[in-house]
Structure 1
Amino acid sequence: MTHGDSAGPVYSLKFVTLLVVLGPELLFLGAGVQLQENGYNGLLVAINPQVSEDQNLIPNIKEMITEASYYLFNATKRRVFFRNIKILIPATWKANNYSKVKQESYEKANVIVTDWYGAHGDDPYTLQYRGCGKEGKYIHFTPDFLLNDDLTAVYGSRGRVFVHEWAHLRWGVFDEYNNEKPFYINGQNQIKVTRCSSDITGIFLCERGPCPQENCIISKIFKEGCMFIYNSTQNATASIMFMQSLSSVVEFCNASTHTQEAPNLQNQMCSLRSTWDVITDSDDFNNSFPMKGTELPPPPTFSLIQAGDKVVCLVLDVSSKMAKADRLLQLQQAAEFYLMQIVEIHTFVGIASFNSKGTIRAQLHQINNDDDRKLLVSYLPATVSAEAETSICSGLKKGFEMVEKLNGKAFGSVMILVTSGDDEHVTNCFLTVLSSGSTIHTIALGSSAVKNLEELSHLTGGLKFFVPDKSNSNSMLDAFSRISSGTGDMFQQHIQLESIGEYVKPHHQLKTTVTVDHSVGNDTTFLVTWQTSGPPEIVLFDPNGRKYYTDDFTTNLAFRTARLWIPGTAKPGLWTYTLNNTHHSPQALKVTVTSGASRSAVPPATVEAFVERDSTHFPHPVTIYAIVRKGFYPILNATVTATIESETADPVTLKLFDDGAGADVIKNDGIYSRYFFSFAVNGRYSLKVHVNHSPSISALAHSIPGSHAMYVPGYITNGNIQMNAPRKSVGRREEEQKWGFSRISSGGSFFVLGIPADPHPDVFPPCKIIDLEAVKAEEEVTLSWTAPGEDFDQGQANSYEIRVSKSLQNIQDDFNNAILVNTSKLNPQQAGTKEIFTFSSELFTNGLEHQPDGETQKSHRIYVAIQAVDRNSLKSAVSNVAQASLLIPPNSAPVFARDDLILKGVLTAMGFIGIICLIIVVTHCVLNRKKRADKKENETKLL
């Protein structure tokens, strides 16, 4: 889905030449959404298997994206539109002559259609986690949003909403509204509404009806229950990231319409830049030009695809190199576990092996029961060959042959390729691989595995893993545990609860506990592996104290595995196990525990680990992410630890944080992040993430994270207030958890290149501060931010450089020449600590600051930014820009400026009507009094 951010380690000249000669259709396979001649190709919309079949859903998706294409084309000044879209129909829906899936899957989708699993809400949203200008993960629509036409009154037309979310996903811009801070006081001490542009009009609405803005304020604090209702008819044309629902809104806020003072996420995340500025700085705009002429682009074309039978082929290296470092044994243990426990029922599975030639070991066989699983296990390789040469292409060819016998083509199949060999001819079959329609997951064993092996995964959208030659590493089992069917049905997937491996001395024990929480428990399996001839002594206690011994496990002495399957639903609580090494020499003992969802209506807690890039070049860090959630709700305050293993060095452990600082962009979104830069050697690294959740300190967030389309409470139409139905509750019911939970996820592998062979000086600066805030009180300005480290987000920086300016342009373009604040008494704290610093605002009253050409000093706001400095004088990037008002004197009230924003529409009309009525009444009374006086005077004269 990324464009320009992901790349494999090294492309050979031969491989690059191959890509050049490929046709566009093949080139886009596995490449995500690509922009070609102003049109987006490869957009994938996937419907979750849990969504009930509805014949209106697909036509509505088509209508939404078609409308969005024209709206986007005009909003981007004839720059981009949607050309080709694929809609992935779940296998749970009845077949209807849909095309077959190739390499598409739910997990790769740019847009997902699914419920929120128990939540009552239909907000469209985009999951963003990488910051300003960076691509998001996916757009999420609920089926109700796509089927219920009443919701267009509160969100706007579906096509317009799609463009709003697409801008989040593709270009990394953020919302220009703020439900938490709907009002603010600007630099002129005036009350303003958080919006873009400021030309959008409306009225203040109190609890009992329209009101002047001063009725919304108590002691300079905005009164709860007060809101601003917008006129349905506007002249303003911006902005799509604020209220795309308004018919007049047809463009994004630009430099002339952007409101820099508004306390919205766009200003916070993008340092006060307009959305249009960020969009035009994207790769899409830098690599394209507006379409010439006046004609509209063609409407999008849609392909409906559906997965058929699930087909998996294991393609296993049996060359002599597999005899080293227990590689074959680890492969046997992991493959057996995959076949017996992980691969889903009704899947067709085949096994091929290769050295210099490929061999079919087991033709495709459908798994319907445990006997089928055991039969396939019996075909796993028992020995290696004498040949050291490997031909990966020969092995893949045999895999394709097997699949094609079943379906005629390999479309939608999965190849799990495991190899330790070096094969310089692997690029010879790239064209065959691309045209096969198969997804290839690669597992590289040891340091001798072919260097561009991962390109097979990169080109087909597969996962990539690395297993170091360490007997106590569980990376092989973790890799097989991570490989799922890709359907998106979390209720059918196995979840890894535990993965541990240790060297245990003779007659010593490996003893620990694993938590089985309420959300899992079905199909729970404990797997124990060892190195020597006989199994260790195993004792397992369930939460009620029941004991399981070695004899209760199903043992495979050839593969040195012992497996215990718990029938029904495993008891929730702490399971304690002890492995006693009864052998006379040390050996690696390992434990893996998996389970499944306990109930179909309650989604289990999950973790998804990944890195931002497939490769990095020293000294650039790798950003590690772990999404921890229950359904779609973030799990907060969990302990998340990453373990990174290289080819030769010791493993490195690293805590990940969800604090909105350093590598973590947004606080409390359930996405835990950290920079990794402790590179020991060039080559491959594997990633595993372990999550521990303590019920005493952890919590489930009350809302779904991400950038949501605004829910409009109502409009002013023809002078009348028309309120929309109240928003559905998005609360969730959280069951009491006595034990918390634990989860494991492999994050795949990544490459590091360019590490110097000789000792090198410090090249790692502090990370950029991204959460700087400024507040003015009395005559002082108080700043707050999260401390960076000596090296990125680790350690303790040496000093801070704080600069301020009355000019945003100064602080953004010429930070070093802005006014320097005295920070001699400010000593940086440990990374992750909250910093608070106060300085006097008199700094701006004792002289004029140099202004850029064309700027004046009329602004009553100051702009602040920070750089952190380490011991070697390496500086971080300049922080986000914070701002504060200088104008408000102590105890003064905001100015109630009655501009075109305030009291328009209903309130103005009511005022005029009231005045007219008053004039009529007064005139009538005066005339009546005069008439009575004249009559009395006439009567007196008659007397």
Structure 2
Amino acid sequence: MKFLCLLCVFCLIPSLTPGSHIRIRNNGYELVVVAIHDSVKENAQMLTALKKIISDSSKVLYEATRHRAFFRKVFFLIPSTWSSSLADKDSTSVNLRDADVILSDPASVSRRSSPRTRSYAGCGHSGIHIQLRTDVLLNNNHPLIQHKPEKYMVHEFAKYWYGVFEEYPNPGENQFYFSTTFGRADPVRCSIGLIGRIMQKTSSGIQLCGYDSVDPETGEFPEGCVYYPYPSHNRGTASMMDHSYIQEIQDFCDDDHTQGHYSHNVEPPNRHNRLCSHRSTWDVISNTPDFQGNANPPTTLSDSQLAPQFIIFRAPSRRRRRLAVILDSPKEFHKRLRLHQAVDHFLGDGFDDDTKVAIIHDDVTNGRGTRMRGRRSATVKSSLQNLHDSVDPSALPSRIRAGIEVLKKKNSTKEGMEFHLILISCNNQTVLEEGNIQKMVDFGITPHFYNCEENRMKNIEETIKQQGGLVEIKSHRSIFSALQRLSEKLHGDEKNLSVQLVNENLELAGEGTHQTYLPVDESLHGELVVRLHYTTAPPSVSVIAPNGSACGYTATNHKLRYIKISSFVTENEHGKWSVAITNKTPYHESIHLLVVLKSQSTEDEVPIRTNAWVKVFHEHSPPRVGVYAEVMYGGHPVVNANVSAHVYHRERKVASLALRDTGGGFDIMKHDGIYSNSFTEMDAHGIHYVEVTVKDSLNNLEIHKTYEIPIPTEQDKGEPGHVPMPDYHTERVRLKHGLRRSTSTGQFHIDQRWDLVGNPDPYPPARVIDLQIDGVDRKERRVTLSWTAPGSNLDTGTASSYEIRYQTNGTALVHEPTAAWLVTDDMIVGTSGGPRGAGQTEHVTVQFPPSLKWVAVMLRAVDENNNKGEFSNMMTTFFEL
């Protein structure tokens, strides 16, 4: 029972990021999950080393947050292949999918081969997770570590949890910029108190690159010159987001401009300044919910009080799921039929044979359905094929109690045992009482609730989520999407989870035919399953493999009204499959087409997977809604995909929008596999949800596999500690056969406080985050600027114009952009043809006055109603030195 209580404590935490359960209480972060990937071989010494790194990180975080935060409770998840003696408990609740930190072996094909933090929502918002390699974190000589792994952990945690970013140049970014403060080229750094040497490696050894070596025409140091900050005896104590390993660094950059204090450097074009409007890292962090106002004020704690509690879980070698599925079926026959078809697929194709099920559908007093049976047993099939009118809704509470009882009887502490009560209510009944939820907590049962009606029971919804359950409030047309999301949640990080290729509702006219071409890409290995769910009469269907042969085994279930065709995909069957469906009757027919691949992947054969979510940004008025989808091959992004999001309110499609991975507006990072856009076409209050499709038939897709370029182990004599930042190589692997995927998000709620009528144009253009200088004609004082165009409404549509501001002092421009000079039409060289549509690249050449020796530039977009976006990132350049 102690184990069950521990798991319940874990489940009581609301999810603040996709998967994370972290919370802060009395300054201490709890339930931080560090997962070790299956690719890592058992190593007890490594586990001990990780504990020390995190313990030391707790002290570093405490100092960096000015005594306001530390790590109080940390969960480790070790692989099932590791010895059980290393773990405190076996676990089915803590899983790799929801981990905050994931440690992978460098030889693993599914790793993120470059250590990084996955972010998506931008400045001040938490990310997805921290991905590390064991050889990086545990190598004290690695450039990112340099004997300070605890500082590196805090650096990455700040990116992940607080939404701040690197203040050093990332690979591919310039190491130097033109500083209007000094009137010369300067290293990208924060703060200017961070000092070091600029050096160049030549055939004769290491030599200094002095400022007198700067080319007066280009303003650049000679090729090969690199900035090396001093690893010790440096000035200032910031910034943890810069070269954190430096001995003196212990703070985040702030805006303290008192004499002798080295404050945030607003000028460099680093990732943090670009994405955070040139705010200091401490300004961003101190305004997150963890610290905003008087939340978690400074404390005085000893080192022993800052030491985290560690609990080590071991992933189960097998999962024994026990599911009580309670059906409160809708009254309309076609809705009831779809529900039973979806549950049949959910149980029949979504689990292994270790799963036992009790279907509780009709009056429990007759004794049927209240025992656990195999998921494919005759009793389970019979329960689902029972499509009679739904019973009296007043009997639903007794069925819920019966579900709890049947799970309670099977309660066990065997390895891998887990218990789930799944309630699907379609009669608008508020039946899930908090008392019953507490009973589930007591018995280690996780509740999940699917509601077909828009009856948002917020208190129940939040309670279920706090216990680790899933809540879906959607129309009956999306029941397959909802149960697919539940299947993914219940499977956690299992490799052989089915991949959903198509999930589509079709309307066929009498004797009409629907044909679709289905690319089966080379990352897919396993059984291809095509299911057609019809309402009245079975259609004819043919599935043709790329080699022209008709596909495979066909089964028809006349009671549940579906046709199932399956075939094992071999190596020579990757490519374009075709599915043709013909309505054989003269009457209209509603058909649901579902195509999944039951993956049989190995460590070297991981399928391309998709995931989608919605984030509501409440700091704006009205709130802004971001829609996100990631397309990943293991740890590697898939780029150039055609990703579409379809927003629904009840059963009505509200909008369709293209999601982009272009690195502009809501999409903060180009080619990271996360596709983004904003949803602005709101016309109704209530629950909304999103279905996402990924398509590519033009073979434009590439997997970007990024690898770190090894740095020679032999250090340069006489320059200890001067190790360059790591560089990376990206291998672009083109997909040969296209791509097709389908997924969905959870719901989001547009409440009555959102004025959908009073303000016809509530959204300004999005902020430009990637302003660049493409070229400079110093003699003519012409500067060519480029950026990704926002829309008229955030990332949608086309802006009306741009307001470009310039100054000779970059700091002054950042602090008061509207006080700076305005670029007028007569300063624009040539004609731009007006703003481009959202997501396209803008190019504008500006001729600046002859009196300027150098310039700093920012801009913002303006829509047709004179709504102005936020000012962009700033760029600087010079005309004469």
TM-score by length of 1: 0.80
For 1:561, the aligned partner's letter is: Y
Which of 682-691 and 436-445 deviates more?
A: 436-445
Residue type at the aligned position of 2:432: V
Cα offset for 1:742?
1.1
Deviation track 1:66-121 (CA, whole Å, cap 9, x = no partner) reads 11001111222222110011122334444346335374332222112234642798
Deviations 1:708-732 (Å, cap 9, x if unpaired)?
Answer: 9x99888989934577699697655
| 2:795 equivalent among 774, 790, 793 | 793
Whether 2:43 is the aligned partner of 1:54: answer yes
Separation of aligned partners in 1, 2:57 and 2:397: 43
Q: Is 2:268 the partner of 1:262? A: yes
Please name the residue that 2:258 is paired with: none
Q: Select between 286-295 and 218-227 the one with higher mean Cα deviation.
A: 218-227
Query: What is aligned with 1:164?
Result: 155
Q: Tell me by how many angstroms 1:608 deviates.
A: 0.8
Deviates more, 1:626-635 or 1:769-778: 769-778
Question: 1:200 is matched by which residue type in structure 2?
Answer: I
Distance in 2, matches of 1:750 and 1:359, equals 39
Aligned residue pair count: 834
Secondary structure of the structure 1 residue equivalent to 2:745: strand
Distance in 1 (alpha carbons) for counterparts of 2:368 and 2:619: 37
Aligned to 2:309: 301
Instruction: State the SS of the aligned residue for 2:253.
Output: coil
Unpaired runs of 5+ residues, structure 2, are 1-7, 256-261
Q: Distance in 1 between matches of 2:283 and 2:663?
A: 24
1:681 to 674, 679, 684: 684
Is the contact between residue 318 and residue 355 of structure 1 (CA under 8 Å) also seen in structure 2? no
- Give the Å deviation of 1:530: 0.5
Give the match for residue 578 of structure 1: 580
Distance 1:687 1:307, change over 3 A: same
Q: Distance in 2 between matches of 1:619 and 1:176?
A: 31
Q: Hey, what does 1:782 align to over in structure 2? A: 784
Alignment of 1:1-40 (within 5 A): 27-28=12-13, 32-40=21-29
Q: Provide the secondary structure at the position in 2 that maps to 1:241.
A: coil
- Answer whether contact 1:703 1:730 (CA < 8 A) is retained: yes
**TM-score, normalised via structure 2 length:** 0.86
Q: 2:795, 2:839 within 8 Å by CA — same for their partners in 1?
A: yes
1:637 aligns with 2:640: yes
- Work out which of the residue numbers 311, 321, 324 in structure 2 matches 1:311: 321
1:607 matched residue in structure 2 = 610
Q: In 2, are the aligned partners of 1:229 and 1:713 still within 8 Å (CA)?
A: no
From the superposition, tell whether residues 440 and 48 of structure 1 become closer, same or farther in structure 2 (CA, over 3 Å): farther
CA contact (8 A) 1:528 1:590 kept: yes
- Deviation of 1:421 after TM superposition, in Å, equals 2.8
Q: 1:105 aligns with which of 95, 101, 113?
A: 95
Deviation (angstroms), 1:195: 2.5
Distance in structure 1 (CA, Å) of the matches to 2:95 and 2:367? 29
Maintained 8 Å contact 1:519/1:597: no
Structure 1 residue matching 2:158: 3-state secondary structure: helix
| Counterpart position of 2:195 | 200
- Decide which structure has the larger Cα Rg and report it: 1
Is 1:882 aligned with 2:865?
Answer: no
In structure 2, C-alpha distance between the alignment counterparts of 1:832 and 1:30, rounded to whole Å = 31
Q: One-letter code of the match for 2:449?
A: T
Give the deviation of 1:597 after TM superposition: 4.7
Distance 1:377 1:727, change over 3 A: farther
Alpha-carbon separation, structure 2, partners of 1:328 and 1:163 = 52
* 1:344 and 2:352 matched: yes
Equivalent residue for 1:902? Answer: none
- How far apart in 1 are the matches of 2:111 and 2:483? 35
Per the alignment, do residues 332 and 576 of structure 1 end up closer, same or farther by CA in structure 2, a change over 3 Å counting? Answer: same
Any residues of structure 2 matched to 1:331-370 within 5 Å, and which?
A: 331-353=339-361, 361-365=369-373
Amino acid at match of 2:119: Q
Q: Do structure 1's residue 41 and structure 2's residue 30 form an aligned pair? A: yes
CA-to-partner distance for each residue in 1:888-934, whole Å, 9 max, x for gaps?
A: 42xx6xxxxxxxxxxxxxxxxxxxxxxxxxxxxxxxxxxxxxxxxxx
CA 1:881/1:654 → structure 2, altered by over 3 Å: closer, same or farther? closer
State the Cα distance separating 1:177 from its structure 2 match.
1.4
Contact 1:597 1:604 in 2 (8 A): no
Task: Report the more deviating stretch, 107-116 or 460-469.
Answer: 460-469
Residues 750, 227 of structure 1: CA spacing in aligned structure 2 closer, same or farther, 3 A cutoff?
same
SS of the residue 1:661 aligns to: coil
Change (3 A) 1:881 1:231: closer
Which letter does structure 2 place at the counterpart of 1:204?
M
5 Å-filtered alignment, 1:73-152, equals 73-96=62-85, 98-101=88-91, 103-115=93-105, 117-118=108-109, 123-146=114-137, 151=142
88-97 vs 277-286, greater mean Cα deviation? 88-97
- Alignment partner of 2:369: what SS? strand
Match of residue 855 from structure 1: none
Q: Which residue identity is paired with 2:188?
A: T
Identity of aligned residues (%): 27
| Whole-Å separation in 2 of the counterparts to 1:119 and 1:729 | 17
Q: Which amino acid aligns with 1:111?
A: V
Counterparts in 2 of 1:873 and 1:172: CA distance versus 1, 3 Å? same
* Structure-2 change in CA distance of 1:725 and 1:614 (3 Å): closer
Structure-to-structure mapping, 1:148-547, within 5 angstroms: 151=142, 154-178=145-169, 179-180=171-172, 181-187=174-180, 188-198=182-192, 199-208=194-203, 209-213=205-209, 220=218, 221-236=220-235, 237-255=237-255, 256-286=262-292, 287-292=295-300, 297-308=305-316, 309-319=319-329, 322-324=330-332, 326-353=334-361, 361-365=369-373, 372=376, 376-380=380-384, 382-383=386-387, 387-389=391-393, 395-408=399-412, 412-424=418-430, 426-429=432-435, 430-433=437-440, 437-447=444-454, 454-469=461-476, 473=477, 475-482=478-485, 483-484=487-488, 489=493, 491-532=495-536, 534-547=537-550
2:209 alignment partner AA: Q
Q: Deviation at 1:161?
A: 1.6
- Distance, in Å, in 1 between the alignment partners of 2:363 and 2:221 is 73
Contact 1:863 1:881 in 2 (8 A): no
The SS at the match of 1:363 is coil
Distance 1:380 1:248 in 2: 67
Relative contact order: is structure 1 or structure 2 higher (C-alpha 8 Å, sep ≥ 6)?
1
Distance 1:771 1:843, change over 3 A: farther
State the partner residue of 2:656: 653
CA distance in 2, matches of 1:731, 1:801: 36
The one-letter code matched in structure 1 to 2:420 is: V
**Distance in 1, Cα, partners of 2:711 & 2:463:** 47
| One-letter code aligned to 1:673 | S
Partner Cα distance (1:521, 1:296) in 2: 51
Shift of 1:497: 1.3
Separation (CA, whole Å) in 2 of partners of 1:358 and 1:374: 18
Per the alignment, do residues 861 and 283 of structure 1 end up closer, same or farther by CA in structure 2, a change over 3 Å counting? farther
User: Which one is further off, 426-435 or 156-165?
Assistant: 426-435
Deviation sequence 1:426-473 (CA, Å, 0-9, x none): 35334445555544443221445756664354323334434424xxx4
Preserved CA contact (<8 Å) 2:854 2:877: yes
The 1:702/1:57 distance shift into structure 2, 3 A limit, reads same
Q: Distance in 1 between matches of 2:385 and 2:337?
A: 10
